[in-house]
């Protein structure tokens, strides 16, 4: 009868993994121009501006909505949020 293998975990790796999991958030973003819903990973305490930087969007070209209510770019993101980004344009 074979003896079971001994599994050894490196506690520092496990701790690092849980810290990484606890400091990142997944935000669902619906972008109006492409009608795509993207899942974007951001760090904990990231702002809407940080999200726009990831998406390479300028804050003066979009309106960001949460539950159909506009939110400012300095708003801190929470976990499990779903946002809509509407690109605006003007011309003459």
Domains and CATH numbers, the chain: 27-87 (3.10.20.30)
Query: Could you read off the pLDDT of 59-84 as tens digits, one per residue?
Result: 999 999 999 999 999 999 988 789 99
Residue 83: what pLDDT? 92
CB atoms closer than 10 angstroms to residue 56: 6
For residue 56, give every residue at least 6 positions away whose Cβ sits within 8 Å of its Cβ, in sequence order, or none: none
Residue 10, pLDDT > 60, answer no
Q: Kindly report the pTM of this predicted structure.
A: 0.68
Q: Tell the burial category of 86 from Cβ atoms under 10 Å away from its Cβ (0-12, 13-18, 19+).
A: middle
What confidence tier does 11 reach under pLDDT thresholds 50, 70, 90? Answer: low
| Cβ atoms of residues 89 and 60 within 8 Å | no
């Amino acid at each position: 009868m074979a003896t079971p293998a001994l599994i050894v975990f490196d506690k520092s790796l496990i701790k690092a993994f849980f810290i990484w999991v606890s400091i990142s958030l997944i935000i669902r973003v619906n972008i109006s121009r492409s009608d795509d819903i993207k899942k974007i990973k951001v760090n904990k305490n990231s702002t809407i501006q940080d999200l726009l930087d990831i998406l390479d969007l300028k804050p003066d070209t979009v309106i960001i909505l949460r539950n159909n209510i506009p939110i400012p770019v300095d708003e801190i993101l929470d976990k499990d949020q779903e946002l809509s980004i509407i690109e605006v344009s003007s011309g003459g």
